Homo-oligomer: A and B are copies of this chain.
Amino acid sequence: MTSTPGREEKDVFAAYLTKNHLKRSEQREVILDAFLRSARHLSVDDLLQLVQKRRPDIGRTTVYRTLKLLQAAGLAQELELQGETRFEREYKRQHHDHFICKSCGAIFEFSSPEVERIQDEIADGLGFVIEGHRHHIFGLCRRCAARPPRDGVRGR
């Protein structure tokens, strides 16, 4: 019966810290909170900006370090999209993959149990044990496909 949004993740993080003899801090709380409230797929800079709106004194280094912790705690996942590093929430989220629009930078998520199944079959054939996968499709989203291409437009 969690009520506050992100409550569960915050508990998980607290437990992670305790278990590893680490300490809670104002900074870590602000960073986690910003991460949880944020849109998906943030860059380190995106997150830093969000964080600094509330606490301008929090440094980039701390954001990097906290993101590592969040990953270790299973709350965040790193993504390499078109050469850019991004982070998204991971906790209790269904596995999914990404479409990336090369024109406007929009990111769409999708998932396909069928693809997962085929993957498993192929892996079995090779005797390969799957731990994870990344499946990125890039191209043009509906809007950009409809729109006449404008050079050099590459949003985030």
Chain A residues proximal to chain B, CB less than 8 Å: 80, 83, 99, 101-102, 108, 110, 112, 114-115, 118-119, 122-123, 126-142, 145
Contact = CB atoms under 8 A, between A and B. Distances in A.
Copies in the complex: 2
B140 A128 contact: yes
A19 to B, nearest CB: 21
B132 A135 contact: no
B145 A127 contact: yes
26 contacts: A80-B80, A80-B83, A99-B126, A99-B128, A108-B126, A108-B128, A110-B122, A110-B126, A112-B122, A115-B115, A115-B118, A118-B118, A126-B141, A128-B137, A128-B141, A128-B142, A128-B145, A129-B140, A129-B145, A130-B138, A131-B140, A132-B137, A132-B139, A133-B136, A134-B134, A134-B135
Contacts of A83: 80
Given A114-B118, A118-B112, A128 B132 contact: no
A133 B131 contact: no
A51 to B, nearest CB: 25
A78 to B, nearest CB: 9
A144 to B, nearest CB: 8
Contacts of A137: 119, 123, 128, 130, 132-133
Nearest to A137: B133
A54 to B, nearest CB: 31
Contacts of A114: 118
A139 to B, nearest CB: 4
